[in-house]
Structure 1
Amino acid sequence: MEANAAHEMITVPAGRVTLSDRRTRRSWPVEVAAFKLAPQPVTQARYAQVTGAWPSTATGDRLPVEGVSWGDAVRYCNALSRREGLAPAYRIPGEGDGDRAGDGAGERAAAEGTEWDPSADGYRLPTEAEWEYACRAGTEGPRYGPLDEIAWQRGNAQDRIHEVGGKRPNAWGLHDMLGNVWEWCWDLYDPEVYGTYRVLRGAGWFDEEWSCRASVRRRSHPTFRIDDVGFRVARSVPR
């Protein structure tokens, strides 16, 4: 894997992953194009640097930002893109019209009308397929290593969140893909059943061992905020 120190990103090669859903008992293969992914979740210091906000319950520069909605995450991606002179990946209704993160109208607009421009070179959330493919890093089992060595979870986290990068990364140099905080992905979970609910992956510091697996899917409304949900950023690689 090729690290990009300037943007704290790792280039993930193209490949194929098979997703599965325990609820519906179905599975489906996905071809994944090469892309870039941050080696760790967005930290509180980085989030504050870009947005000026400290939304988290626990406080620490190197703790993952949590207490952020899916709408907060996509707005962060656009703000970071503009900060670095890149084309924003998302068209967000009401963005720039005075909506504040957390305003009801702005949240609903982000949930219902945000569009992704795949041609943009800016930051974005990973797709669910990209996330699982990157998490597995070429492995086929439920985890990319022994649980206690790779993840903060209920059995070892002492009921609290931990600084990013404290556990062993996977073979591609990605830390905290399992445990510490759940991570928002771009995808709708099941629009016919759950409407605008978005996918969460990876499990958090309070989750049991069962949840800390590469294949586990969770869903929540894109306005949802809680102390074990954060995100990491991705970028597309020009073809």
Structure 2
Amino acid sequence: MIAVPPGRVTLSDRRTRRSWQVEVAPCLLGAFPVTQELYGAVTGEWPGATPGDRLPVEGVSWWDAVRFCNALSLRDGHTPAYRLGPDETVEWDSTADGYRLPTEAEWEHACRAGTTGPHYAPLDEIAWYRGNSGERLHEVGGKRPNAWGLYDMLGNVWDWCWDVYDAEVYGSYRVLRGGGWFDEHWSCRSSARRRSHPTYRVDDVGFRVARSAAR
């Protein structure tokens, strides 16, 4: 886990041409996307189309990611961050010290690591995307990290975030960030947003875990 300092980030949405600022509290964020090895060790399940311990887990839904966070919290002796209710309801206990998904503001703030451009470094040096991936998944940590020590923030697999994308238009659809191995360069930007249903599973979507900083 990497300590992410507090800050302020401006989020933007190209569809609505809207932008908004968010204050981000300090947090901890996984240096890598969750790997198949870790996911399998915690859940006993090995989803996805391409096996490999150091490959990022993929073929996981938002709900799979939430349940994994709670299971990992219990394994490591932390209080689970999510209360799962009937009819696919979930509440985030912001006082809990357990693992959780990052908010999209936390994600973009951490991805940028103080930079302001579309990428935190030249894209070929930091990301697996359609231009250099050979149209396949790659092991985590194979490209340069950003200035705060976070790997694969862009490319390889999209990261599920906690946030609902736009409840009035898309209902329960959740935010995805970062771009994946099959995406063109314009989707692998620090500001790029994508959305999908929380039950959606595909071979270029994974996640990384966060924790709230100790108070």
TM bin (shorter chain): over 0.9
Aligned runs of 1:1-239 on 2, under 5 Å?
9-94=1-86, 109-110=87-88, 113-239=89-215
Length, aligned pairs only: 215
RMSD: 0.6
Calculate percent identity across the aligned residue pairs. 74
Q: Structure 1, unaligned stretches of length 5 or more?
A: 1-8, 95-108
* Cα offsets for 1:125-181 (capped at 9, x unmatched): 000000000000000000000010000000000010000000000000000000000
TM-score, normalising length from structure 2?
0.99
Q: Tell me, in whole angstroms, the C-alpha distance in 2 between the residues paired with 1:59 and 1:34.
A: 34
TM-score, normalising length from structure 1?
0.89
CA-CA distance at 1:93 after TM superposition: 1.7
Q: Tell me, in whole angstroms, the C-alpha distance in 2 between the residues paired with 1:64 and 1:136.
A: 21
CA-CA distance at 1:238 after TM superposition: 2.3
Q: Tell me, in whole angstroms, the C-alpha distance in 2 between the residues paired with 1:161 and 1:93.
A: 34
Q: Tell me, in whole angstroms, the C-alpha distance in 2 between the residues paired with 1:183 and 1:210.
A: 16
Q: Tell me, in whole angstroms, the C-alpha distance in 2 between the residues paired with 1:153 and 1:144.
A: 15
Which runs of structure 1 show a deviation greater than 2 angstroms over 4 or more consecutive aligned residues? none
